[in-house]
Amino acid sequence: MCGVFGIIYAQDTNELGNTLIKGSRKLVYRGYDSAGFAAFQDKGSTLLRKGPGMLEEIIRKENISEFTGSRGIVQLRWATFGEPNLENSQPHYDSDKDIIGAHNGNIVNTEQLIEEFTQEGMTVRGTNDGEMVVHAYEKFYNQLHDPKQAMMKAQTILQGDYAFICGNVNQHQLLAVKMGSSLYMGVGDTFIVCSSDLGSILQFTRNIVFLKDGDLVLYNDSEYHIFDIHTGKEIQRPVEECTINIEEANLVGFDHYMMKEIHEQPKKVQELHDLLENTQSNMDDCIDLINQADHVYLVASGTSYHAAVVGAYYLNHLAGIHAVPVLAGYFNEYYNVSPTAKDVIFCVSQSGETKDVINVINPILHNTSAKIISMVNVIGSSITQKSEIVINVAAGLETSVPATKSYMNQLFAFLYLATYAGSKKKLDKAQEIHNQLSQIPNLLQETIDQVKEEAKEIADLLVQRGSDLYCLGYGIQYGTALEGALKIKEVYYKHCEGMYSSEFKHGPLSIVDEGYPILFPASPADDHMVISHINEIRVRKGNVIVISPQYHGYMKAASRIVAVPDSDHYFIPLTTVIVLQLIAYYASIQAGLNPDFPRNISKTLTVD
Ligand code: M6R
């Protein structure tokens, strides 16, 4: 959801272009509708090159590696205000081109501001909200001639959440603000840098300042000052050594990151298992909180919500903890309750930056003392900063926009949590499963090896038919069905609806004609219902492809069964989702698409 990166050195350097390129490559996951690069040079000149399209194409076309200067700003955009074209690409100049700035986030009163600024005689070139932040700063800078005062005033007319970096041609410094969107600062020996993405900084320095909402930073190559944007008072924030391990994105022989990340799942689950075994006191704290809670809400969006659906099943069935999965965007409206000190808001998010989730947390931090736990893949992210307890799913860098290995590790973390909590209550099934968790990495590897070819065949079949489809799930497999459907939509661009299988007869069944495709991840333990639901479709000539361990009941009822290795009922969501991930991947390739960067979306959604 847009990424911004701004770095400053003591003097002009030929390395600026390459540094900006390195920074930008770490931001691609946040948006790829357009990219732009700006440089400020000592003699008072600027360079600004940008445009719609993929990053590498712009780097090449615009010769970014030749950029020189002492300061530079990069922006990668995921379009919200204004279509992705040249004018709307960021960074933006102000009216007389002596200020350049870029943002990450979303200014909701953009329409009014365009009108206001135009009437005031400013040159508004596009319809992008990031440009409004530049003009708001310009407006007050021209009155006050002081960067800090100008930005303090500017924020009073900007509505929304954003992070912003800008520079004035004639001042050897950059200004950055964090107002609800992610922003980190890195302090190197010869430079200081601010960026929306922690990993983009860690490749240059491990000395990090974790900025907070409302921070206004003025920085040059050797010093920085942080102010409260509302009062102007200077704030001290420590420089911390960040020990997070950053992995380099590397295809290592795979054609796409999505496929590479699907294949990494057994290893990442193994690593997570080891990590959880070594950090049990964190799990103990988490279990204490949820055991004492009146309500446990599992709050998440997208794929993470699907993990929460399966996670709620695990917690309910294996630990007797009544956890409720809630779509983050739905929580405040639907529940309309003020969680109390005895409630737990358990946030699940790969990025730890999702705005829908932050919208649930922020009012809680201000108004109630409900406990916040988070399960994330990015330690140090905004959600972790707001949480009492953090569970690291440790899936490593996930480059592909579709979540695969992070989902798998979320499922595993929930399974570990539920079986550990149940074991502490001496529940037999929980103890039995907990003792088998170390077998899961092998089970996943076996699954990949066993189902790959068949997943490809199913994908061919779907592409040949070319229609929309359904992905149904019952009981433990509801989350899997939602996740499979999302993966297929996301990378194959065909509508695939995920649905609880008992709902199918309440209307959607009318869509079924001869050969209509239905994917049906299932567990043999649920056969009493699943067989009825399959039959209802089969008698109408639908093509029901069941994904399950080999089971005669399903073999008889279904059109076809894609068999995953036999396993305990509780492990089946982990194995069957691999088949759906692979089907989605192969369908995307067959359709000539790039599964790593599906059109119109972004990996980190920091807007409403
Ligand atoms: O970073 P989060 O897990 O909070 O992101 C939530 C969704 O945007 C995300 O899971 C999205 O649905 C996936 N990238 C889809 O593969």
Question: In this structure, is residue 331 part of a structural domain?
Answer: yes
User: Does residue 381 fall inside a structural domain?
Assistant: yes
Integer Cα distance of 387 and 408 in angstroms: 22
| 316 has pLDDT over 90 | yes
Check pLDDT > 80 for residue 246: no
In this predicted structure, the answer to whether residue 333 has a pLDDT above a threshold of 90 is: no
Instruction: Quote the ligand 1 centre to 463 CA distance (angstroms).
Output: 25
pLDDT of residue 135: 98
Dihedral sign from CA coordinates of 80, 82, 87, 93: negative
State if residue 603 touches ligand 1 by the CB under 6 angstroms criterion.
yes
The last residue of a domain, from among 435, 465, 495:
435
Asked whether residue 607 is assigned to any structural domain, the reply reads no
- Beta-strand ranges (E) seen in 126-187 are 160-168, 174-179, 184-187
Determine the pLDDT at residue 306.
98
The answer to whether residue 245 scores a pLDDT higher than 80 is: no
Provide mean pLDDT across the span 462-484. 97
Residue 228 lies inside a defined structural domain of this protein: yes
What is the spatial distance between Cα 229 and Cα 432, in angstroms, rounded to a whole number? 54
Residue type, 469: L
- Single residue among 243, 272, 303 that ends a domain in this structure: 243
130 and 45: one domain? yes
Render pLDDT for 85-120 as a digit per residue (tens, 0 to 9). Answer: 999 999 999 999 999 999 999 999 999 999 999 999
- pLDDT tens digits, 529-583: 999 999 999 999 999 999 999 999 999 999 999 999 999 999 999 999 999 999 9
Please give the DSSP secondary-structure letter assigned to residue 595.
T
Tokens 């979303």 locate to 106
HEC string of 333-396? HHHCCCCCCCEEEEEEECCCCCHHHHHHHHHHHHHCCCEEEEEECCCCCHHHHCCCEEEECCCC
Number of domains in the chain: 3
Q: Is the CB of 178 within 6 Å of ligand 1?
A: no
Ligand 1 probe mutation, 330, 346, 354, most atoms within 8 A of CB:
354
Contacts of 458 (CB under 8 A, 6+ apart): 519, 545, 562, 579, 583, 586
Which residue, judged by its Cα, is nearest atom 7 of ligand 1? 302
Which three-class secondary structure state does DSSP give residue 150? helix
Tell how far the Cα of 3 is from the centroid of ligand 1, in angstroms. Answer: 16
Rounded to an integer, what distance in angstroms lies between the CA atom of residue 596 and that of residue 340? 41
pLDDT at 448: 98
Residue of 76, 102, 234, 230 lying closest to 164 (CA atoms) = 102
Query: In this predicted structure, what is the pLDDT of residue 79?
Result: 87
Alpha carbon distances (Å) from 282 to 46, 304, 388, 420: 50, 21, 11, 12
Asked if residue 103 and residue 42 are part of one domain, the reply reads yes
- Portion of the chain with pLDDT greater than 70, in percent: 99
The alpha carbon of 354 and the centre of ligand 1 are apart by a number of angstroms equal to 8
- Asked if the structure places residue 608 within a domain, the reply is no
Judge whether residue 248 has pLDDT over 90: no
Same domain as 384, residue 259: yes
Cis peptide before 91 (omega within 30 of 0): yes
Q: Does residue 133 surpass a pLDDT of 90?
A: yes
Residue closest via CA to ligand 1's atom 9 equals: 302
Q: Are strands 469-473 and 517-521 parallel, antiparallel or unpaired?
A: parallel
- In sequence order, the 6+-apart residues with CB closer than 8 A to the CB of 146 are none
Q: Is the pLDDT of residue 334 over 80?
A: no
Mean pLDDT of 472-478: 98
Domain of residue 597 covers 443-601
Residue nearest to atom 4 of ligand 1 (CA): 349
Given a contact cutoff of 8 angstroms between Cβ atoms, the answer to whether 590 and 463 are in contact is yes
The set of residues, in sequence order, having a beta carbon less than 8 Å from that of 443 and lying 6+ positions away, is 565, 567, 571, 574, 575
- Would you say residue 216 lies in a domain? yes
Tell me, yes or no, whether 199 and 229 share the same domain. yes
Sign of CA dihedral 243, 298, 327, 596: positive
CA 303 – ligand 1 centroid, Å? 5
Asked if the model's pLDDT at residue 338 lies above 90, the reply is no
Pair (103, 146) in one structural domain? yes
Could you tell me the sign of the dihedral formed by the alpha carbons of 460, 466, 471, 472, in that order? negative
- The verdict on the CB of residue 351 being under 6 Å from ligand 1 is yes
pLDDT (0 to 100) of residue 250: 78
Whether pLDDT at 249 is above 80: no
pLDDT of 332:
83
Q: For the residues 221-248, what does the mean pLDDT come to?
A: 91
Residue 606 belongs to a domain:
no
Q: What is the per-residue pLDDT for 369?
A: 85
Question: Hey, CA dihedral for 579, 580, 582, 586, is it positive or negative?
Answer: positive
Q: Residue 493 pLDDT more than 80? A: yes
Instruction: Kindly list the catalytic residues.
Output: 603
Task: Note whether 180 and 271 are same-domain residues.
Answer: no
Distance of CA 602 from the midpoint of ligand 1 (Å): 9
User: Would you state the pLDDT for residue 178?
Assistant: 97
44 in the same domain as 182: yes
Residue 408 resides in a domain? yes
Q: What is the CATH number of the domain that holds 409?
A: 3.40.50.10490
Tokens of 507: 């209307």
Write down the mean pLDDT value for the chain: 95
* pLDDT band at residue 276 using 50, 70 and 90 as cut-offs: very high
What CATH number is attached to the domain comprising 212? Answer: 3.60.20.10
Nearest Cα residue to atom 15 of ligand 1: 402
Residue 471, SS3?
Answer: strand
CA–CA distance, 472 with 527 (Å, rounded to integer): 14
- Looking at the structure, do residues 225 and 276 belong to the same domain, yes or no? no
Ligand 1 near 402 CB (within 6 A): yes
Residues 345 and 476 reside in one and the same domain: no
Amino acid at 229: I
* Domain match, 255 and 349 both: yes
Is residue 390 located within the same domain as residue 283? yes
Q: What is the DSSP string of 435-460?
A: HHGGGHHHHHHHHHHHHHHHHHHHHH
Look at 46-50, 147-151, 240-244, 438-442 and tell me which has the smallest mean pLDDT.
240-244
User: Domain ends where: 435, 453, 477?
Assistant: 435
Q: Is the CA virtual torsion 550, 555, 558, 559 positive or negative?
A: positive
For residues 283-304, one letter each, b for 16 or more C-beta atoms within 10 angstroms of the residue's C-beta and e for the rest, the string is: beebbebbeebebbbbbbbbbb
Model pLDDT, residue 29: 86
Q: How confident is the model at residue 324 (pLDDT cuts 50, 70, 90)?
A: very high
Half-sphere exposure of residue 235, counting CA atoms within 13 Å on the CB side?
A: 20
Asked whether residue 158 falls in the same domain as residue 274, the answer is no
